[in-house]
Structure 1
């Protein structure tokens, strides 16, 4: 297909899932990414009928928005609405050359950092025309978002490893957690951790948080971790009360990243190093279906990895000065990284963190030293 509106080449709309899972390795016979899709011509003809050159709209998303917002009849015809959505997606691909098409529940145009459902976007142009400037402003940062994402991906892919991983001879042992039983509104036992055998949670479960007290046994895990670390490593343990009145446990090693644990129900807060902050479990909604056991897995992995030397922090990274963190299990089998902007912090705290991390070896905090004679 050739066109005097978009530069092409053109391809069909990708099938559902064909481009949505970006981490899968490419298959030899798999279709390549589609930047411009066909099927937009009915809207191009509609624009011509309104005295507007579609080639002008193709390079101006704001003008395209104005035309669609000014003609709500676009939504009255399924054929025209579909063509308009494809036209709008192609406009976005033209102004943002890295964007390609994918199909999820509806057609989307985007990159790793942003994917825009075009059917919903066209409906929004008609129903919420006042959102035009906010949408265009959001897109203005897209290119920088992609650059930051590439930088973070490259950082995560680096062949960087801690200088040394130190684990005690006596392994940590999780305490026996009590078996708690919970019932739903009908009196039936709730089988947390096995509620969605097909892996698909109902939509309403994302807004429900039933029985958060099921995470109360995490306090036993916290006590066991503190006992293990203080017995095996050279670390000072302090129990303090924070400014918010919450009790917290500070683990200050002779060398390495300090850990502060604030136990609470339903979630335990873990702070470490200069800027690391984690909440375990991070979500207690029914859809996530977490249990005390799965949350304990995460809590133990974070704390034991940091003590063993598998903890990395880099800040500031890139033009936006984001924070990059990595937690690697002592056996090297689990490696999880995250990146993003810092929360609002006083300038002196940011400067302190920058100076502290500058002295690390490629961001890796050293392992805590072991006691010569375990306590």
Structure 2
């Protein structure tokens, strides 16, 4: 379906993949377990080869640690390289996940002629760092370290899953001069669930200043990952999957939520968005909003009627794989772009009203303004009034 949207001054294309007919659904149900067993076997094969180099049928695999800007912290990285790659696809996994669950994806891409780079983000999988704890600036720096290992003549695509999409999108928004061949986001996690109201967000901000390293339960529901019970079981049994997060990590996710959609007009890379409508982890409506607001002149949104959060581990995988490889090939044929990046920005560059110095200044101002006017009140009443005004000030900063 194509339509002209005068408010954006460009032609938009929205693809809504209709659900398969009943016979297709029956066939998919019969073959999905077999397909997953094949993917699981491949992932297990890679997992048993921790470091080193070996050859597959159509590509070479190299597994090593890549150093970062943090001294002593290295990223566990896998390179799947065909002999003459047409481009490089860097896959960024989501929260609590790790690269070991994407080997079957890398295998398909490499057989199609793409070099694929998988890496565990800091604090996850086999990479270094405090478990489930990272700052967005550090995650941007880590992504740059991975990009710097790629041959300069290679066009580069980013494929970002779930929270990895927030990392990739914010990285591109903060670096508008960055040249990539394209960005693919799959079920992007761009906003907290509605249950996280303003009170919880305020409490999170305060706790981040006091105890950022405190670990809390992330309440991951494995049943939301996939319709395939084998996938759900494997996630539950995977010792590298993280089921908790630090307060500091949760706060950085909140910062990403407040940053991406309000600033995504600055995103100029070719963009492909894929999302399942049955995703209970990340709403597909956020992808619709991302598509509407993104500044890209070349952007495509594809929705899957019965898709869950992990399209790469479900019945939709074959369609997703074909859509992505076809889109990447089309981008290369249309306008091959040699990637360019230097002096990259790290972290979120937009100015936020909730800066620590401004909040502290307002608290001091509130205290001295009201101290004399509340002399007739008891100490407890004065304390409660001033505390309430301080909290109100903090809420205003977080909200706006």
TM-score range, shorter chain: under 0.3
Q: Which has the bigger relative contact order, CA under 8 A and spacing at least 6?
A: 2
Which one has a larger percent helix, Structure 1 or Structure 2?
A: 2
Point out the structure with max Rg over C-alpha.
1
